[in-house]
Structure 1
Amino acid sequence: MSNPSGPPIPPQRRRLSPDQYVEGVLSRSRGVLGRVITLFESRRPDDRALARLVLDTLVPHSGRSIRLGITGVPGAGKSTLIEALGLRLLAEGHRVAVLAIDPSSRVTGGSILGDKTRMARLSVEDDAFIRPSPTGTALGGVAGHTREAMLACEAAGYDVVIVETVGVGQSETAVADMVDTFLAVLIAGAGDELQGIKRGLVEMIDVLAINKADGENRPQVDRAVSQYRNAIRLMHPPESPWIPPVLPCSAREGTGLGEIWAQVLAHRAAMERAGLLAERRRSQAVRWMWDLVEEQVRRMLRDAPGTGDLAARLESEVRGGRISASSAADRIASALGLTAPPGAGPDGPGPP
């Protein structure tokens, strides 16, 4: 049927069966893998039911990759470093997936989705898969279904999965909670070097790279490396199973990347020797479960008849000081059928 007001409307792609999605992923089809991740990101109830079925079937085929999270300040060269590191890993025989968390506008909901452009060389490689995902309204700037996408990439045979975060707010914590090794990329020459990194981030990272160690900037990088090493030693006792190394690198020139990857592998080996890697992944899976429970409660609040309007009215009353936040929360929970038993507090029933 023609469209008189514009170009012809392309036909909607046929939805695959659960078996076709699974078989496509396991046969390493990048096209099907992309469609599976799109399915995971869908908010339609029928898509969510299909996504759960597909994911449950893929889970036994996942878990065999090195999961690397990368964060950093704006302008630190994260994407350049990821592309250079990814190309190096491909040359060593790895298959690399990059899940690049893309910042969404809180006003319009739009996102840049430009990671394939920023990693143009890596994106055309047969053994690489790059998937930018909008953050949407997910807590901490991390796409709500990044964990699901990571499992699908592992099932598709990618043995290195890199998660790049926007590096703002609570996104570092969210990414650290889904990877094995957490790498921060910083730059020198921004004044007091120790002001460029938050204490909480220092406590989370496993490897710290100071990028742009080239040309006239090299002396500043060396000073920054020394300062960060001293700071990290003060925050990590000598008996710690792992003290994060601080490494200079130049993503533009390709220097220092081998050392960074060697430390990623060394961290993984140290975690395995201490029996911490498997426990870390088990704990992450449990936290993921509770994150999804909270997400479903928020969806119930948004979709249940009448509760959205009630929440809006109560929010206005809380803003105006006409009702306490705790009373408003109780009324919303009651509307959802989640009323706590008499005498129960935030940690369970109170004393008799």
Structure 2
Amino acid sequence: MSSSKNPSSSLHEKAGISPPEITNVAAINQIKKNRRQQPSSAELIDGILNGNITSLSRAITLVESTNPEHTAKANEVINGCLPHANKSIRIGITGVPGVGKSTFIEAFGSFLTQLGKKVAVLAVDPSSSLSHGSILGDKTRMEELVKDENAFIRPSASGDTLGGVARKTRESIILCEAAGFDTIIIETVGVGQSETAVHSMVDFFLLLKISGAGDELQGIKRGIMEMADAIVINKADGDNIKKANQAKLEFNRALHLFPPKKSNWQPKVTTCSAITKDGISEIWDTISQYFVQTNESGFFPEKRKEQNQFWMMETINEQLKLNFYNQPEIISQLEQNKKAVQNDEISPFTAAQSLLSVYFKK
């Protein structure tokens, strides 16, 4: 049998086509140059105050950056926007996956923009613990709201923080307020721990539930119930209306078992359907009543002050942590100590103390 290749065979290689030579080098260099150019802090601040969405998005990206070189510039932008912030209603929305948070936020946000509100949605998308990637699909799920000129949706990867809600989300609120958004909605991942972080940065905390989940009988998770200013039973449509109303009664009974809130506000339970839009206006009425009551009592401004102090301390803690892990001496010894701990050559506490001693002696 001949070993030569058959020219008619499908395995026969044909001569390829040579790629064309690059003829417009100047154009390519100009594109690269423009990509490298970044607006100054003053330009970003000016753009944000004028309601420029591109400037707002760039500033949030800068705030979310883990590059230490971006920290100083991000702080300049935040400080420049701060005098123009604090003029919004901040609403936190949480609920387990599958409760319909994105659909609800789209229906609720569209209702608010029809009232003349400017709505910013800061949605946190869970990141993979393996690849650290994130789908960031909220803009896809909120396809109608994303086209609304009075709405801004910013999905962010959760990273390694509790539900992705930390100092960066807090700073993003300030930037959105400075850009003229008067209603800020923060959607949590709904993993349990993130609710505490959200509660510490919003004025009103809304818990989304669905009927038939079994939570009515156990009063759901006590900590989240105590934080909630309103509980909304979603998906109250079709054959589910009766079950939703039953869940509403049982949640109301559970709420009466909790001690009074510091705000003296009695949390409300209501039902709604994000699909049919039934009950959406009643939810806004509840939130409006809350703001009237807490402003008259003085609780609202006092809570904002306490939150500012809390986030000052959180920022200190986070900066100390970042500074610790970025020290060359720590970086060089950390892996050695990890291996020593894994091999039981040293206790975790001794290893930690050794690294801290190096850090404080630098």
> What is the TM-score with the length of structure 2 in the denominator?
0.87
CA-atom RMSD, angstroms? Answer: 2.3
1:139-218 to structure 2, matched below 5 A, reads 139-142=162-165, 144-191=167-214, 193-195=216-218, 197-218=220-241
SS in 2 for 1:228: helix
CA distance in 2, matches of 1:114, 1:69: 19
> Tell me, which stretches of 5 or more residues in structure 1 are unaligned?
340-352
Q: Determine the structure 1 residue equivalent to 2:14.
A: none
Pair 246,37 (structure 1): closer, same or farther in 2 beyond 3 Å: same
Q: Please name the residue that 2:244 is paired with.
A: 221
- Indicate yes or no: 2:42 matched with 1:51: no
Q: Deviations over 1:183-213 (max 9, x none)?
A: 0101001235334721010011111100011
Query: Share of identical aligned residues, percent?
Result: 44
The DSSP-based 3-state class of the residue aligned with 2:360 is coil
Separation (CA, whole Å) in 2 of partners of 1:173 and 1:139: 9
Secondary structure at 1:106's aligned position in 2? coil
**Cα distance per residue 1:243-294 (max 9 Å; x no partner):** 2101111111101111111111112222222212112111111221222222
Give me the whole-angstrom Cα distance separating, in 2, the residues matched to 1:238 and 1:177. 15
Of 145, 153, 159, the residue aligned with 1:122 is 145
Asked whether the equivalents of residues 136 and 143 of structure 1 are also in contact (C-alpha less than 8 Å), the reply is no
Q: How does 1:19-168 map to 2 (within 5 A)?
A: 19-142=42-165, 144-168=167-191
**8 Å contact 2:109–2:145 — kept in the other structure?**
yes
2:289 counterpart of 1:273 = no
**Structure 1, 239-248 or 259-268: larger mean CA deviation:** 239-248
Q: Would the alpha carbon gap of residues 37 and 274 (structure 1) be closer, same or farther in structure 2, given more than 3 Å must change? A: same
User: What amino acid is the match of 2:233?
Assistant: I
User: Counterpart in 2 of 1:347?
Assistant: none
Aligned twin of 1:236: 259
Shift of residue 322, structure 1, vs aligned partner = 4.8
1:258 to 245, 262, 281: 281
- The residue that corresponds to 1:329 in the other structure is 352
Match of 1:345 in 2: none
Change in 2 beyond 3 A, CA 1:233/1:313 = farther
Give 1:15's aligned residue.
38
Residue 325 of structure 2 aligns to which amino acid in structure 1? R
Q: Which amino acid aligns with 2:228?
A: I
Equivalent residues in 2 for 1:310-321, closer than 5 Å:
310-318=333-341
Shift of 1:237: 3.6
Judge which range, 190-199 or 204-213, deviates more.
Answer: 190-199
Distance 1:262 1:321, change over 3 A: farther
Counterpart of 2:212, as a letter, is G
Question: Could you tell me whether the CA contact under 8 Å between 1:207 and 1:245 is conserved in 2?
Answer: yes
Q: CA deviation at 1:335?
A: 1.7
Deviation of residue 24 (structure 1)? 0.3
Shift of 1:138: 1.7
List alignment gaps of at least 5 residues for structure 2: 1-20
The offset of 1:321, in angstroms, is 5.2
Q: Which amino acid in structure 2 is aligned with residue 86 of structure 1?
A: G
1:317 to 1:271, Cα distance in 2 relative to 1, 3 A: farther
Instruction: Give the whole-Å Cα distance in 2 for the aligned partners of 1:156 and 1:338.
Output: 44
User: What amino acid maps onto 1:275 in structure 2?
Assistant: G
Residues 85 and 47 (structure 1), Cα distance of their counterparts in 2 relative to 1, 3 Å cut: same
Q: What secondary structure does 1:120 align onto? A: coil
Q: Which runs of 4+ in 1 moved over 6 A?
A: none
